[in-house]
């Protein structure tokens, strides 16, 4: 949820409802962790940025180690609105992996971005592929 008001509305409408013959229990995560309401935790801003992704998503491979999400956003924004960018990070090695994901606001923007597959970015030949959502198949 994007606000405490939306979360309270979701709890009010879903808690105790039936899903597939089972009763749903919907509570704030602070309630589940401590077993009691933690008003301070419920009214604070989320600690992590929420990433919204669209269904128009691409995989970008063969990235240089130094590429950051901002670099990808800047490069691919020429094809339209970039909703989200993510470069995966390898905690074990302490550096970026050589691939990432981008979401666009429309299918046309996604198609334009896919045409960059084979172009050079930060000294590396990009591999750009559409991400197929397996849930839709």
Q: Which pLDDT tens digit goes with each residue over 38-59?
A: 555 555 555 555 456 778 899 9
Rounded CA separation 112/21 (Å):
46
Q: How far is CA 129 from CA 10, 15, 60, 72, 113, in A?
A: 36, 40, 7, 15, 9
Sketch the domain layout of the chain as residue ranges: 4-42, 56-136
Q: What angle do CA 122, 87, 78 make, to 5 degrees?
A: 55
C-alpha closest to that of 126 among 61, 67, 72: 61
Write out pLDDT tens, residues 75-126: 999 999 998 898 887 778 777 778 999 999 899 999 999 999 999 999 999 9
Q: What is the pLDDT of residue 111?
A: 93
Q: Which pLDDT band, with edges at 50, 70 and 90, does 134 fall under?
A: low
Number of other residues whose CB lies within 10 A of the CB of residue 103: 21
Which of 71, 124, 133, 130 shows the shortest CA–CA distance to 98?
A: 124
CATH for 56-136, options being 2.60.40.10, 3.40.50.970, 3.40.50.300, 3.30.70.330: 3.30.70.330
Enter the tokens of residue 17. 């409802």
User: Has residue 68 got a pLDDT over 80?
Assistant: yes
Rounded to an integer, the average pLDDT of 35-39 is 53
The answer on pLDDT for 65 being more than 80 is yes
The Cα–Cα gap between 133 and 137 comes to 7
State the pLDDT at residue 21.
Answer: 76
């Amino acid at each position: 949820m994007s606000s405490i008001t939306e979360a309270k509305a979701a709890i009010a409408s879903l808690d105790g409802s039936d899903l597939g013959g089972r009763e749903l229990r919907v509570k704030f995560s602070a309630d589940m962790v401590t077993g009691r309401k933690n008003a301070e935790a419920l009214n604070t801003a989320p600690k992590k940025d929420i990433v919204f992704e669209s269904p128009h998503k691409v995989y970008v491979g063969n990235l240089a180690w130094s590429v950051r999400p901002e670099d990808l956003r800047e490069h691919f924004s020429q094809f339209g609105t970039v909703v989200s960018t993510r470069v995966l990070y390898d905690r074990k090695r302490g550096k970026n992996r050589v691939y990432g994901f981008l979401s666009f606001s429309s299918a046309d923007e996604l198609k334009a971005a896919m045409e960059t597959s084979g172009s050079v970015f930060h000294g590396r030949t990009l591999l750009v592929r559409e991400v197929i959502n397996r849930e839709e198949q």
